[in-house]
Chain A
Amino acid sequence: MSTTEAPPANGRHSMGQPMKRKEDARFIAGKGRYIDDIVLPNMLYLAIVHSDYPHAKITKIDKDAALKIPGVLAVITADDLAGVGLAWIPTFHGYDKQMVLAVGKVLYQYQEVAAVVATSRAAAADGVEAVVVEYEQLTPVVDPFTAKTDKTLVREDRENKTNHIYHWEVGKRAETDAAIAASDVKINERVYFQRCHPAPLEPCGCVADMNPATGTLTLYMTSQAPHAHRTVVSLVTGIPEDKIHVISPDIGGGFGNKVPVYAGYVCSAVASIVTGHPIKWIETRTENLTTTGFARDYTMDVEIGATKDGKVTALKVTTHADHGAFDAAADPTKYPAGMFGICTGSYDFPVAFTELDAYFTNKAPGGVAYRCSFRVTEASYAIERGMDLLANALGMDPADVRMKNFVRKDQFPYPSPLGFVYDSGDYHTTLQKALDKVGYKELRKEQAEKRARGELMGIGISTFTEVVGAGPSKHFDIMGIKMFDSAEIRIHPTGSGIVRAGTKSQGQGHETTWAQIVAEELGLDPQNLLVEEGDTDTAPYGLGTYASRSTPVAGAALAMAARRVREKARNIAAHVMEAPLDDVEWVDYKFQVKGVPSKTVTMKEIAFAAYTNPGPNEPGLEATYYYDPPNLTFPYGAYIAVVDVDKDTGETKVRRFLAIDDCGTVINPMIVEGQIHGGLTEGFAIAFMQEIAYDAEGNNLQPNFTEYLIPTSLESPHWETDSTCNPSPHHPIGAKGVGESPNVGSPAAFVNAVMDALSPLGIKNIDMPLTRSKVWSAIQEATKA
């Protein structure tokens, strides 16, 4: 994939060009404006008291010592919030409620118990240390597998006196069971996708600023979905939505972590309303890792049936989900397990069934879409591990098993047995390209030679299919708000313009790619198109950026809005060129009179005419579009990892990693490559380094970056990337989205490679993260036996 900036085409950059990111000049120069850069006059600071224990009654909260500290003005508890009806707020999809500050008891270690407001950050921190909370410890519920029968209830507040939250299923149970039972070959393996955390480098924070004179609450916040947050704040506080102004400035990474509403936001807003001062709250790293939305924590039993020659007959996946103390998983309302039904992956299963049970435990709540569409990474991991286990059971090459069972190109649009209709793809070609590019046959030959010498070399394949772009309004909503998205374009008289969307970039490069889409549709210079997002007073209403929905939904809205602008411009062009409207056509980024190539007018010229000589047309040149997608999009890829495992130390070296992605039409290949590099690095970290683990007493064992590891360039492998292109037939520009594909597809490739390396020892599965000690222990156990 080329990453060199190409010369402008036709005097401008347009879609498909590796245009440098417009926003980077600001970031490189240190001119980004993040939440903590915002300083308002008379601003106060808020810090939070957290629970030391995972499950305990609060017997006393003593504020006295804290209130004596110079600068400390107030200590807020749940009782104070109850007075304004904010002790509890609804969770993401509205099926549960969550405490803002602990009400009566704490439900997980580090839960927010009280908030201290002070005149300085240091005083607030001192106040936190001085608040005395007395607890009566309770037995914690830690294991989701015993949660259902545990005598201890995590949530006495709920009507149903059980730790079981819900059961969800899709597919044909009886037919699937029968098909598996009748199969020549069966695999049944439990795989665990561990609890991990998006860990954006900028933690969450806000500045809440209530203007007593106007009654307007301005919330500067780390928000991936500013409009949705404005609506939620209005619903839970009763403040009219026109009196709430959410501004999401530059964001230092989100990955799903900045979608939920957190205690700090609510307490800051309340404190600002009460004091009339702006209130700043900025998380610490430990607060971010221990209290904000985690991801995954799915234990999945994967069953696959197949014929002797390797043709799959059925798939069944049974999942236990640990949701922590509140059902706060970030999933659309009608999809409690997100898009987990994509677990049939890229394969043509005649029948399938999947079911899931979710449980409360005394752990932090979450289940956010960490760099993936809702629960797609878990599903992808299950099927891609399953296909390798099946290949192992069949004694077949894992590439051959995949080739034998892929959905064929002529089957698209492909209705999957679990309810999705895949839009487009050519899985055989993409995998073949990966096999050829990586030198698969030669690698297998090298592996055989190494195995003969007793060395452990592994090759892992993952041929995943994502489902992204939530979503079509007939199926997708969050608390009733349909998951469309929006764009607004205004072209100025001189041919520059402003582009606004309901999304919010956290590093994705929207300021560049959105400009490229509009520039392509209008024949304008993307450098002169200013992209604005994240301000609810100016941007059109949208559901934000997460779950790979921006390009599939807002990207489509941008193209459609631009086409509306172009249609209006065509009318003005007809006036300017004194030609009948039907004779004016759009050719090579200009309007031209049919059959008269010399008679043309550019969009820049039409923009000027729109304000100076519109003729019978309405002056001005702008349009808005709300796009409701007809279907989801289905990016996919073929990833191959090559690893060497040191038998004596358990250390795994990722020697090569090739990612072939098919995200349909590419807007900017340089940004796509950057997205893939970032996602692969996160996938590498999940596969080998990261887990938010709790001990048997409910203690969170990874509360900081000395325990929860972030790979640097020293640890990260070299990434090889390439692409194929099967555009989405229903998307206006054929794009599918790519930012999350590498995080979705890579963990299985890494694990499959390590398991392939260890297969001569009879080792079938080790759960992530594949740390040196876990791999070494497995080798020791296997060789001892």
Chain B
Amino acid sequence: MNLEWHGHEEVGTSKAQLWAFISDPKSVADCVPDLVEAVVEDATHFDAIVSVGVGPVRGKFKLKIELEPQSDGNRMNMKISGGGLGSTVDLLAGADLTDHGATTSLDWTGTATMRGKIASLAGRVIDAQAQRVITTTFANVKARCASASA
């Protein structure tokens, strides 16, 4: 099952502050909703355990997350892979940063491939649920980055 999402956040910080925030695995991990546990491996990698509740598929997913900062400092990619409960997910997210001085635009996209029980048993509701997770993640980035900069 292939899914695609996109969105936009206007973050009330400078681009440099936002870049620093999304380059920090710990900061990003804390923005993931329903996070149970996060273990930072190095500057660009962390492992996360998140609670999942989609239709009849309920339990925990173990995910490996890799940050891929682009050298121009304008784009951050993020690869997420893992799963649980007889399901796997491969998600590629990307965020483009546009500098407006005191604020920064964050335009994000996400594509995911879901396999296993979660796709079969929760196919009807998974799109909305996954969109909620990714939208909440970037909304949290906006809120926490702004809060950290205040």
Contacts and interface: CB of A to CB of B under 8 A. Distances in A.
A346 interface: no
Interface in B90-141: 113-117, 119-121, 123-124
A109 B120 contact: yes
A701 B123 contact: yes
Interface in A24-57: 52-54
Contact of B115 (A137, A290, A704): A137
Contacts of B116: 52-53, 109, 699
Contacts of B2: 695-697
A665 B113 CA distance: 57
B43 interface: no
B13 interface: no
A700 interface: yes
Given A53-B115, A137-B115, A699 B88 contact: no
B87 A697 contact: no
Interface in B1-26: 1-2
Contacts of B88: 53, 137
B137 to A, nearest CB: 23
B117 to A, nearest CB: 5
B89 to A, nearest CB: 11
A697 B114 contact: yes
A695 B88 CA distance: 15
Nearest to B1: A695
Contacts of A52: 86-87, 115-117
Contacts of B114: 697, 699
A16 interface: no
A698 B123 CA distance: 12
Interface string B53-94: 000000000000000000000000000000000111000000
Interface in A125-146: 137
Contact of A695 (B86, B87, B119, B121): B119
B121 A697 contact: no
A137 B121 CA distance: 19
Nearest to B55: A706
A698 B120 CA distance: 9
A184 B124 CA distance: 47
B85 to A, nearest CB: 8
Given A52-B87, A137-B88, A697 B115 contact: yes
| Most chain A CB neighbours (cut-off 10 Å) among B87, B113, B120, B124 | B120
A110 B116 CA distance: 9
A313 B11 CA distance: 70
B120 to A, nearest CB: 5
A635 to B, nearest CB: 38
Interface string A699-713: 111011001000000
Nearest to B119: A699
Contact of A697 (B86, B113, B117, B124): B113
Contacts of A110: 120
A467 B111 CA distance: 50
B115 A700 contact: no
A290 B116 CA distance: 13
A480 B121 CA distance: 41
A653 to B, nearest CB: 24
Interface in A688-739: 695-701, 703-704, 707
B86 A699 contact: no
Contacts of B123: 695, 699, 701, 707
A697 B123 CA distance: 12
Interface residues of A, number: 17
Nearest to B88: A137
A703 B120 contact: yes
Contacts of A137: 88, 115
B120 A701 contact: yes
A695 B123 CA distance: 10
Contacts of A701: 119-120, 123
Contacts of B117: 52
B124 A707 contact: yes
Nearest to B116: A52
A668 B19 CA distance: 80
A109 to B, nearest CB: 6
A699 B121 CA distance: 9
Contacts of A290: 120
Nearest to A55: B115
Contacts of B1: 695-697, 699
A697 B120 CA distance: 10
A609 B122 CA distance: 69
A718 to B, nearest CB: 31
Nearest to A700: B120
A512 B113 CA distance: 54
A54 B88 CA distance: 12
Contacts of A707: 123-124
A53 B1 CA distance: 12
A523 B124 CA distance: 59
A695 B1 CA distance: 6
B86 A704 contact: no
Nearest to B124: A707
Nearest to A696: B2
B17 to A, nearest CB: 39
A707 B117 CA distance: 14
B14 to A, nearest CB: 41
A695 B124 CA distance: 12
A171 to B, nearest CB: 40
Contact of B121 (A53, A54, A704): A704
B126 to A, nearest CB: 10
A703 B121 contact: yes
Contacts of A696: 1-2
Interface centre among B115, B116, B123 (most CB of A within 10 A): B115
B80 to A, nearest CB: 16
A67 to B, nearest CB: 20
A407 B105 CA distance: 72
Contacts of B121: 703-704
Nearest to A703: B120
Contacts of A53: 88, 115-116
Among A52, A695, A703, the most chain B Cβ lie within 10 Å of the Cβ of A52
Nearest to B86: A52
B118 to A, nearest CB: 9
Nearest to B123: A701
Nearest to A695: B1
A697 B119 CA distance: 9
A732 to B, nearest CB: 50
Interface string A280-295: 0000000000100000
B49 to A, nearest CB: 17
Contacts of A700: 120
A349 B87 CA distance: 52
Interface of A: 52-54, 109-110, 137, 290, 695-701, 703-704, 707
Given A695-B119, A697-B113, 16 more contacts: A52-B86, A52-B87, A52-B115, A52-B116, A53-B116, A109-B120, A290-B120, A695-B2, A697-B1, A697-B115, A699-B115, A699-B116, A700-B120, A701-B119, A701-B123, A703-B120
19 contacts: A52-B86, A52-B115, A53-B88, A54-B115, A137-B115, A290-B120, A695-B2, A695-B119, A695-B123, A696-B1, A696-B2, A697-B115, A698-B115, A699-B114, A699-B123, A700-B120, A701-B119, A701-B120, A703-B120
Closest 7 CB pairs of A and B: A52-B86, A699-B119, A52-B116, A695-B1, A699-B120, A701-B123, A700-B120
